[in-house]
Amino acid sequence: MSKLSEAEAVEVAAAKKYKYGFKTNIEYEDFPKGLNEDIIREISKRKNEPDFMLEFRLKSFHNWLAMEEPEWPNLHYKKPNYNDIQYYSIPKKKPKLDSLDEVDPEILETYNKLGIPLQEQKMLAGVAVDAVFDSVSVATTFKEKLAEAGVIFCSISEAIQEHPELIKKYLGSVVPANDNFFATLNSAVFSDGSFCYVPKGVTCPMELSTYFRINNENSGQFERTLIIAEEGSSVSYLEGCTAPMFDTNQLHAAVVELVALDNAEIRYSTVQNWYPGDENGVGGIFNFVTKRGICRGVNSKISWTQVETGSAITWKYPSVILKGDNSIGEFYSVALTNDMQQADTGTKMIHLGKNTKSTIVSKGISAGKSQNSYRGLVKIGKKADGSRNYSVCDSMLIGDQCGAHTFPYIESNNSSSSVEHEATTSKIGEDQIFYLQQRGLDEEEAISLIINGFCKEVFKELPMEFAVEATKLLAIKLEGSVG
Amino acid sequence: MTDTKGENKTSFLAELLNKSKFGADEPGFLQKVRKTGAERTLSLPFPTSKVEEWRQISLKPLERGEFFQAERTAVNESEISDFLFNESSQSRIVLSNGRVQDSLTNVSGLVGDCFAGTFADMPDKYRKNVEKRFNSVAQYGDDPFVPFNTATFGDVIFVYVPKNIQEKAPLHIMHVTKGDATYTSPRVFIFAERHSDITVIEDFIGFDESTYFNTAVSETVLEDEAHVTHVKLQRESTNAIHISRIASHLGRGSNYNSYTISIGAKLFRNEPLALVDDENAHATLDGLVMLRGDQVADTHSILDHLKPNCTSHQLHKVIAHDTAKSVFNGKIFVRKDSQQIDAFQENRNLLLSADATVFTKPQLEIFADDVKCSHGATIGQLSQDELFYLMSRGLSQAQSTQMLTYGFALEVIDNLPVESLRDQLAVEVERFANSVSAQKATV
């Protein structure tokens, strides 16, 4: 083990604290707390943004001032003090450790259970990686391959500098600057995020993932993602990873915008495993996310898949606006809450074009003292002739202290379209557990197997390696919740 | 959810209340209850579309209208002869504009000690239970219409079924409204003692195109093992505004079946509320809504499972034609520790025209784990396959449309316990289906 400098030692100590609470006093580069016009100007200035971006941020900020934090979700939390947040910070590089021995053994155990390869473990834990698995070189290979295909994949700050015309055209076109409280806040202060542009007729040669993006520092708490799929193109994007994620910022308000033009297809998969707080509900991330895609062109398709297992508060409704005729929207979701976690998540499918189709499959699992809500909207517009929607949302309850709720809003203005919705809520089957135990599985294995069966419809939509990890993740999350 | 925001200006209901007068000659108990209703009405804001529960409909037609307390009037037998049921010829109460009309009322057919009538006529031995439970079930949240009804009711009909009495004849309570720009507040209270059984049909009748506003409230208290079937028939005039609550409180092992059939009114809101408050009880809340023209119908039901080992069933069917609009919000609560609940809810909507609108929000809120709860909701149109099948058998398109629409509605009607009621409704449904198919054929 090499010697750590004093500063590094402090950082390591601070880093360990993340896990146990949010009393962090980490100094960032000097930037005042609070939110006002000067702060916004300063953010924009430091990021060296063109004028139109500053205007966008200021417009959003003024809209935000007039908005109220929504109270309709089935969530109970202490509202953050928005003037006590530092809105701009160069994220600190993670402390570089020399070997895995220096990593918290608890985290390592989780990695092992997830089956994450050793090299990846090192990367996740912030251990300096050797030449064989140099993240930079891997990323470079990826970049070359993408460039060959003409795909632009970079951070959104980079895109603002290098492709302002695309940003100008598409940023805020799906989630406008006055959309909702959290999205508008994001529009005003967003720090960084991903940008992806797939040109006409191109099928992206690989699954894109933030994980391999070259400047893969923490994107911070106000992440902004924009994906554009031109005519006839297709892309699959992965966000997050199954490994537990710790962060100093309690409030997260991300915005994701997807634009699919004629015959284009976007698949967006998320695995979210932010720190959920301890079993008494102390700490944990507040995750307020606005995700929306628009099928602007004919025959286009947007598919959301999410596995939500972390965060103390999850507020998230990945939506699709089906504007182009014959376009398709899909939403597959597994939301698991344990201990004191609260989730209010679902989707919105807005049918505007003719013969548009949408499918919603939502699986909620509540354990411990958690509250899990599905909230969805299916709206069939007047001109959406021949549209169809099929929704199914199932909830499973483990333990008698938790709650499951469904709030599906269904609205139809068109007599030639059809909407079907069904939902069930039930206990994990005692007979099934008994059957499996009788075959030699222990109770936890049995539950894990049943849960996997319950979620299979969603997992099969995930990219292969994600699906395997997600399966294990659920098992870990439910450990000790039965008994 | 915390949707308590309302407007601060003097509520429409408070204004209406202030210009109404009530006789001082009624029993002290009712006066007392009325007073609490009045106080509550004045303290509650009038709902606006900013409140989640009232988001989808506008009460503007009500607020814009000018209404006056309905005056005593009389109906002729000929006016209501089409609405009568043979089974209830000796168990019928007719109210016109909220007051009992003795000439048409006949409850001689009720068995034994079973009672139906006004408070003044009620045997003293029933007072204890009635005074204890009257006005204790219907109030829910910030709803201002129930207190308004309590403050302004006319003759309250009390129905009392003593222990072990099985009342065979269905009790037909007819609320007839006559006159323009009037309002009435029909109120019914049903108390079913242990192991009793009764069927009550509440019938709301209006004529032609008269404009009026009714807030109807009915409460049912079921003691252990009591069986009550409650049918609400809403056939108000085509310009009426009808806002009602049908509340029930279920004791151990009781069985409550509520059927709401709604055909009339321009703006109509119905709020069934079943509090399943002891074990082994069962509640059914079925509904059929048929809408034409620019009718607006809103059903907000609450099925609250407060105790374990209970079952509930809800089937709500809607047919919307022309530019009609239907709203449905069905809440099922399963409270903490209410294990072994089996709750089923189904909402099916048939959209027959391009301009009709349907909102539906089935809602499950479950706080217990050992339960089986499910709901389904569909919005669609008549199946092309089914139409094709019928037409291939030689029926015209109009006939096929009519037959399928009729079939859709029949599922609810078939469950009704009174034969002549089923027959009357079958004719009503047929008429509706015919008008739809005739319209379709001319398009």
What is the C-alpha to C-alpha distance for residues A343 and A231, in angstroms, rounded to an integer?
36
What is the C-alpha to C-alpha distance for residues A144 and B315, in angstroms, rounded to an integer?
60
**Contact across the interface for A403 and B339, Cβ inside 8 Å:** no
What is the C-alpha to C-alpha distance for residues A320 and A349, in angstroms, rounded to an integer?
5
Domain range holding B408? Answer: 385-443
> Which whole-number Å values give the CA distances from A10 to A13, A30, A246, A250, in the listed order?
5, 18, 17, 21
Q: In this structure, is residue B299 part of a structural domain?
A: no
Q: What is the pLDDT of residue A21?
A: 33
- Name which of A365, A377, A421 to mutate to probe chain B: the one with the most chain B Cβ atoms within 10 A of its Cβ: A421
What is the C-alpha to C-alpha distance for residues A307 and A273, in angstroms, rounded to an integer?
9
Please count the residues of chain B.
443
* Paired strand residues for B230: B200, B258
Q: In this structure, is residue B344 part of a structural domain?
A: no
Instruction: Give yes or no for B354 touching A (CB within 8 A).
Output: yes
Residues B28-41 have pLDDT tens digits of: 899 999 999 999 99
Q: Which residues have CB under 8 Å from B282's CB, separation 6+?
A: B254, B255, B256, B310, B311, B312, B313
Where residue B7 falls among pLDDT bands split at 50, 70, 90?
very low
Task: Give this complex's ipTM.
Answer: 0.79
Task: Pick the closest to residue A182 from A64, A341, A349 (CA basis).
Answer: A64
Facing residue for A397 by CB, picked from B362, B369, B380 = B369
Write the Ramachandran bin of A214: left for phi over 0, alpha for psi from -120 to 50, otherwise beta. Answer: alpha
Residues B217-253 have pLDDT tens digits of: 999 999 999 999 999 999 999 999 999 999 999 999 9
* Comparison of pLDDT for B408 and A99, the residue scoring more: B408
Question: What average pLDDT does this structure show over B394-416?
Answer: 90
Instruction: Give yes or no for B366 touching A (CB within 8 A).
Output: yes
Q: Record the tokens describing residue B442, joined without a space.
A: 């001319």
pLDDT at B186 over 60: yes
* pLDDT, chain B, mean: 90
- Name which of B342, B365, B383, B384 to mutate to probe chain A: the one with the most chain A Cβ atoms within 10 A of its Cβ: B365
State the first-to-last Cα distance of chain A, in angstroms, to the nearest integer.
Answer: 42
> Which whole-number Å values give the CA distances from B227 to B221, B250, B305, in the listed order?
10, 10, 18
Q: φ and ψ at A455, to 5 degrees?
A: -95, 0
Task: Pick the closest to residue A291 from A259, A250, A334, A245 (CA basis).
Answer: A259
What is the C-alpha to C-alpha distance for residues B60 and B327, in angstroms, rounded to an integer?
17
Are B258 and B285 a contacting pair, CB within 8 Å? yes
Nearest CA in chain B to A376: B361
**Contact across the interface for A412 and B349, Cβ inside 8 Å:** yes
pLDDT at B146 over 60: yes
> Which whole-number Å values give the CA distances from A119 to A101, A128, A305, B176, in the listed order?
14, 10, 27, 81
DSSP state of B194: T
Q: What is the pLDDT of residue A220?
A: 54
What residues of chain B lie within 8 A of the CB of A409, using their CB? 359-361
Nearest CA in chain B to A387: B380
Q: Which of B245, B278, B311 is the last residue of a domain?
A: B278
Are A474 and A451 a contacting pair, CB within 8 Å? yes
- Domain spans, chain A: 135-477
What is the C-alpha to C-alpha distance for residues A307 and B363, in angstroms, rounded to an integer?
23
Element (H, E) at B198: strand B197-206
Q: What is the pLDDT of residue A212?
A: 44
Q: How many domains does chain B have?
A: 2
* pLDDT, chain A, mean: 80
Instruction: Looking at A190-312, list the stretches that DSSP marks H as alpha helix, in order from N- to C-terminal side.
Output: none
Are A337 and A371 a contacting pair, CB within 8 Å? yes
Where residue B318 falls among pLDDT bands split at 50, 70, 90?
very high
Q: Which of B278, B301, B328 is the last residue of a domain?
A: B278
Buried b (16+ CB within 10 A) or exposed e, A153-168: bbbbbbbbeebeebbe
Q: Which of B248, B278, B308 is the last residue of a domain?
A: B278
Question: Is residue A13 packed enough to be buried (19+ CB in 10 Å), middle (13-18) or exposed (0-12)?
Answer: exposed
Write the Ramachandran bin of A287: left for phi over 0, alpha for psi from -120 to 50, otherwise beta. Answer: beta
For CA atoms B24, B28, B30, B33, the dihedral sign is: positive
**Contact across the interface for B357 and A413, Cβ inside 8 Å:** yes
Residues A389-418 have pLDDT tens digits of: 999 999 998 888 888 999 999 999 988 899
Question: What average pLDDT does this structure show over B271-290?
Answer: 95
- Name which of A371, A388, A396, A410 to mutate to probe chain B: the one with the most chain B Cβ atoms within 10 A of its Cβ: A410
Element (H, E) at B309: none
Facing residue for B363 by CB, picked from A395, A406, A417 = A406
Amino acid at A141: T
* Paired strand residues for B331: B302, B363
What is the C-alpha to C-alpha distance for residues B430 and B432, in angstroms, rounded to an integer?
5
Instruction: Give yes or no for B351 touching A (CB within 8 A).
Output: yes
Are A198 and A230 a contacting pair, CB within 8 Å? yes
What residues of chain B lie within 8 A of the CB of A407, using their CB? 361, 363
Q: Which residues have CB under 8 Å from B431's CB, separation 6+?
A: none
> Which whole-number Å values give the CA distances from A198 to A223, A232, A236, A260, in the listed order?
20, 10, 11, 10
**Contact across the interface for B351 and A415, Cβ inside 8 Å:** yes
Kindly state whether residues B270 and B411 are assigned to the same domain: no
What is the C-alpha to C-alpha distance for residues B133 and B120, in angstroms, rounded to an integer?
17
Kindly report the CA angle at B248 between B170 and B201, in degrees rounded to 5?
20
pLDDT at B382 over 60: yes
Quote the crossing angle between the two packed helices B397-413 and B384-392, to the nearest 10°: 120
Q: Kindly report which listed range (A341-350, A455-464, B221-230) carries the lowest average pLDDT score.
A: A455-464
Question: What average pLDDT does this structure show over A78-92?
Answer: 72
Are A415 and B443 a contacting pair, CB within 8 Å? no
**Contact across the interface for B351 and A412, Cβ inside 8 Å:** yes
Residues A358-388 have pLDDT tens digits of: 999 999 999 888 999 999 999 999 999 999 9
Please count the residues of chain A.
483
Q: DSSP characters for A378-444?
A: EEE-TT-TT-EEEEEEEEEEESSS-EEEEEEEEEE--TT-EEEEEEEEEEPPHHHHHHHHHTT--HH
